[in-house]
Structure 1
């Protein structure tokens, strides 16, 4: 195991629920599922880093920015589409974990860095939503922690097309990450 695939926030609320990315998120379902299956087949570490909020938590910094989403114990927090069924197939594997995150970055306030370092993982791949929010913030923290970063454009989406493009450029040009363009992988 030399690398980790981090699936970020590909849930019902973010695809077509309370805070929907909508069609761009629906269109990446196949690519996310394929990337996840490939990582599993290669014996890579797979992390599902999923946003977690409590109902009516008015103290959380996002509460003034976005409508309530990914609320604990709701259907909106379930993985979207075929990824949910695939996760249920592989969740007992030693190479698959679920991390609840309460901030944009999958590293902020979680044990993700420790889990990766325990396995001597230095390379991470990122897929999911939103490219310019949670994927970008995870990439920035990963860069600052010394990880090599790859983002799959065909498996990432955002509400904001300009933000999506900015995030991919930032990851490539400022964080020295690799952005695998659609059709390249």
Structure 2
């Protein structure tokens, strides 16, 4: 006779695809070429967007002053909804969500990706934190032109309450279990096979 194993509660710090949203901030034609890690950045954002689509996680995309900085790069356009245009560096207002206390949406964990870590990503993170959202920053899916700016943006966002992690950690938290079709697809995203 085997003993039944009690269900173990999942940590509230782990990400569930049922409670997340993904935001892609300002990955635009005139910004990407000046980012030293652009190729890796775009690859990580593609992975997150494809996984979000697989798990039906809502996606948002923004463009900072597209007249001057151009549109979202062609590699991402087919994967994303139409972008919200903004002049304010923070994308929080552009997203139009309001504060957590005024929403009935249970998707209050926000994964932020994009450019630049110390400007638009950081200001969005701080505004969303102030509005009561939990903000998650995949450090390999945000970038700045300068390493120093990126370093201090990570430090400041973490000190303000954002959770810092990696793209792969997020993908497998959204997946949660092995042995499913979703797990196979996430594994292919990660390994490229």
TM-score range, shorter chain: 0.7 to 0.9
Alpha-carbon distance in structure 1 between the residues aligned to 2:155 and 2:86:
25
Cα deviation for residue 111 of structure 1 reads 4.7
Corresponding position of 2:31: 14
Q: How many residues align?
A: 151
Corresponding position of 2:7: none
8 Å contact kept, 1:25–1:156:
no
Classify 1:47/1:29 alpha carbon distance in 2 versus 1 (closer, same or farther; 3 Å). same
Corresponding position of 1:100: 85
Alpha-carbon distance in structure 2 between the residues aligned to 1:129 and 1:52:
13
Cα deviation for residue 27 of structure 1 reads 2.5
If the length of structure 2 is used for normalisation, what is the TM-score? 0.70
Instruction: Select 2:97's aligned residue among 88, 94, 113.
Output: 113
User: For residues 13-162 of structure 1, what are the structure 2 equivalents within 5 Å?
Assistant: 13-16=30-33, 21-52=34-65, 69-70=68-69, 76-77=70-71, 79-87=72-80, 91=81, 98-108=83-93, 110-114=94-98, 117=103, 119-162=105-148
Cα deviation for residue 115 of structure 1 reads 9.9
Residues 89-138 of structure 1 show CA distances to partners (whole Å, capped at 9, x for unaligned) of: xx3xxxxx532121110024x35224983533211000010000000000
Cα deviation for residue 81 of structure 1 reads 4.1
Residues 42-78 of structure 1 show CA distances to partners (whole Å, capped at 9, x for unaligned) of: 1111000211255xxxxxxxxxxxxxx32xxxxx22x
Cα deviation for residue 183 of structure 1 reads 5.7
Between structures 1 and 2, the one with greater strand share: 1
Alpha-carbon distance in structure 2 between the residues aligned to 1:85 and 1:123:
24
8 Å contact kept, 2:41–2:142:
yes
Classify 1:29/1:53 alpha carbon distance in 2 versus 1 (closer, same or farther; 3 Å). closer
If the length of structure 1 is used for normalisation, what is the TM-score? 0.73
Corresponding position of 2:163: 178
Alpha-carbon distance in structure 2 between the residues aligned to 1:9 and 1:119:
25
Partner SS for 1:151: strand
